[in-house]
Amino acid sequence: MPKKQKYYITTPIYYVNDKPHIGHAYTTVVGDVLARWKRQNGFDVFYLTGTDEHGSKVAAAAQAENKSPQKFCDEIAEIYKIKWQNLNISNDYFIRTTDKDHIERVKQIFSQLKNGQTPKGNDVIYKDNYQGLYCTGCEKFLTEKELVNGQCPDHNKKPEALKEKNYFFRLSDYKEIIREKIANDEFQILPVSRKNEALSLLDFVDDFSVSRESVAWGIELPFDQTQKSYVWVDALSNYITALGYPSDLKLFKKFWPVDVHLMAQDILKFHTIYWPAMLIALGLPLPKSEYIHGFFTIDGQKMGKSRGNVIDPDELVSKYGVDATRYLLLSQFSFGQEADIRVERFPEKYNADLANGLGNLVARVTTLIEKNKLKIIIKQGGDTKLKKEFDQKMSNYRFDEALKILWAELRKCDEIITNTQPWKITDHEELKKILAPIAQDLLNVADLLQPFMPQTAEKIIKILTADKIKKAQALFPRI
């Protein structure tokens, strides 16, 4: 039996200073669709998501709720897990940066980096004084150039002036290696606009701090008890510690390098520059690719508590159901671009595409088959051309276009029914000639729809492959 190809996919690990919202859900559903699609195509998949739980921002959020940081993290991590279950996310592992295994492995990684030499013969990590501007909201140091009117552009707050003695990673010795690997796509950054952004950033970044002496909530460095791991080194390492690196290499050898890291653009610098530098210093292969999607707004406005437009994914699931929510999130615009989610259009799209579209078509076809007692036998995997077109879109992360291909097929079926008016035909053989191909097309669509809408697809497949096809119940009640 041939060995299965592997596929390793990750989301970013989400920061626990707040509860999960539609933005987190979007990236996680994309990861799930890719993971399910690859499994369906025979790949051995490892899908990783999780939570980022250290740093001063988390400690402050815990203090505001009068809780210990660990208790606060435990509660928020559990909320993430429940939300992902409600969205039918099929992750293989949920990592938390407060996991004991992760903490021990991060310490081992720090020791490796501390003992390492750069390609130019310098120490990978060195201790030095740091004086600069720090935004607690971002958990990152900022330069004057990055400020807008003297404030952090993301949090509209003036950063603190910090002076402390930290350990630094000698990024300057790795910049040209990273530039070359990005430029020749050995380390692929998608879409191309993000690749160009990363290449431009290389001109402005320098050695970065990997520890803090003023942060209490973090992983203690194994070689200096006065210092805690800076949140980004701790967080980025999750992609390899989840696979057991460096203490248990069985999964690591099987799945690394990662096939794709999924993330939003706010963490581009850390993933396209800091992370590959760390991997090169550890002597490890770089990720095959990173797909960095843009931010999206809600009804034309940036998401924010003050605006009251932070959407809990459970609200959508409660209103539309799991599969419909997944469909609505991924069908509205092209993945990767900055876009605007128009929540007020969800009911209209739900009714048009799902209630009146897919659901109504399945009901009409199965009703006609049952009513006329037709014996129709169809098989899965019946349209290789459709699958080829669909897979090509999926390979290029064009999820909305992949769905459009399937809905174009459904419209063709609807048109045939409208033109032939099978409810007026009494000859069973003539009726069978019309309905059998439509039922096959429906099955083909359901087959390919499984990564997006697993429960719905399973229902349709079960109905159409039964010994006796019976009228389907309403898959999507009208809203």
pLDDT in tens, 38-53: 999 999 999 999 999 9
- Catalytic residue of the set 120, 305, 388, 424: 305
- Catalytic residue of the set 73, 83, 102, 135: 135
Active site residue 24: yes
- 394 occurs within a structural domain: yes
Dihedral sign computed on CA atoms, order 171, 177, 182, 183: positive
- Catalytic residue of the set 21, 195, 261, 293: 21
- Mean pLDDT over 380-409 rounds to 94
- Mean pLDDT over 273-293 rounds to 97
Q: What is the DSSP letter of 443?
A: H
Active site residue 138: yes
- 353 occurs within a structural domain: yes
User: Over 70: is that where the pLDDT of 108 sits?
Assistant: yes
- 228 occurs within a structural domain: no
Instruction: Tell me the CA distances in angstroms from 458 to 7, 92, 375, 443, 446, one per residue in order.
Output: 23, 21, 21, 10, 8
Structure-block tokens of residue 386: 């459709």
- Catalytic residue of the set 38, 73, 81, 138: 138
Instruction: Grade residue 156 by pLDDT with cuts at 50, 70 and 90.
Output: confident
Write the CB contacts of 203 (distance below 8 Å, at least 6 apart in sequence). none
- Mean pLDDT over 355-380 rounds to 94
User: Over 70: is that where the pLDDT of 1 sits?
Assistant: no
If one compares 394 and 21, the residue with the highest pLDDT of the two is 394
Phi, psi of 384 (to 5 degrees): -70, -30
Active site residue 135: yes
- 447 occurs within a structural domain: yes
Active site residue 253: no
User: Over 90: is that where the pLDDT of 455 sits?
Assistant: yes
pLDDT at 150: 82
Q: Which CATH number fits the domain that encloses residue 357?
A: 1.10.730.10
pLDDT digits (tens, 9 = 90+) for 398-441: 999 999 999 999 999 999 999 999 999 989 899 999 999 999 99
User: pTM for this one?
Assistant: 0.93
- Catalytic residue of the set 71, 157, 302, 379: 302
- 425 occurs within a structural domain: yes
The angle subtended at Cα 149 by Cα 143 and Cα 154, nearest 5°, is 65
Gap between the Cα atoms of 17 and 329, Å rounded: 24
pLDDT at 215: 87
Host domain of residue 351? 344-464
pLDDT digits (tens, 9 = 90+) for 302-349: 766 656 677 899 999 999 999 999 999 999 878 877 777 778 889 999
Q: Which residue has the tokens 């994309």?
A: 30
The chain-wide mean pLDDT, for the chain, equals: 92
pLDDT at 268: 94
pLDDT at 188: 98
- 420 occurs within a structural domain: yes
- Mean pLDDT over 252-281 rounds to 96
User: Over 80: is that where the pLDDT of 180 sits?
Assistant: yes
- Catalytic residue of the set 152, 269, 271, 432: 152
Round the CA-based radius of gyration of the chain to a whole number and report it.
26
pLDDT at 102: 98
pLDDT at 383: 76
Gap between the Cα atoms of 58 and 56, Å rounded: 5
3-state SS string for 107-167: HHHHHHHHCCECCCCCECEEEEEEEEEEECCCCEEECHHHCECCECCCCCCCCEEEEEEEE
pLDDT at 258: 98
Active site residue 413: no
pLDDT at 306: 58
If one compares 17 and 184, the residue with the highest pLDDT of the two is 184
Gap between the Cα atoms of 21 and 314, Å rounded: 9
Q: How many CB atoms lie within 10 A of CB 212?
A: 22
Gap between the Cα atoms of 175 and 274, Å rounded: 9
Gap between the Cα atoms of 355 and 213, Å rounded: 57
Active site residue 73: no
- Catalytic residue of the set 4, 155, 375, 468: 155
pLDDT at 139: 65
- Contacts made by residues 129-132, CB under 8 angstroms, sequence distance 24+: 129/163, 129/164, 129/165, 130/162, 130/163, 130/164, 130/165, 130/166, 130/168, 130/209, 131/161, 131/162, 131/163, 132/161, 132/162
Gap between the Cα atoms of 366 and 291, Å rounded: 41
If one compares 158 and 317, the residue with the highest pLDDT of the two is 317
User: Over 70: is that where the pLDDT of 454 sits?
Assistant: yes
Please tell me whether residue 263 adopts helix, strand or coil conformation: strand
User: Over 80: is that where the pLDDT of 471 sits?
Assistant: yes
- Overall number of domains in the chain: 1
Structure-block tokens of residue 263: 């993330």
Instruction: Tell me the CA distances in angstroms from 297 to 302, 330, 341, 342, one per residue in order.
Output: 5, 15, 6, 9
Residues of the chain with pLDDT > 70, as a percent, come to 97
- Mean pLDDT over 381-385 rounds to 81
pLDDT digits (tens, 9 = 90+) for 216-254: 899 999 999 999 998 788 999 999 999 999 999 999 999
Evaluate whether 164 touches 205 at the Cβ level (below 8 Å).
Answer: no
Active site residue 152: yes
- 320 occurs within a structural domain: no
- 410 occurs within a structural domain: yes
Active site residue 305: yes
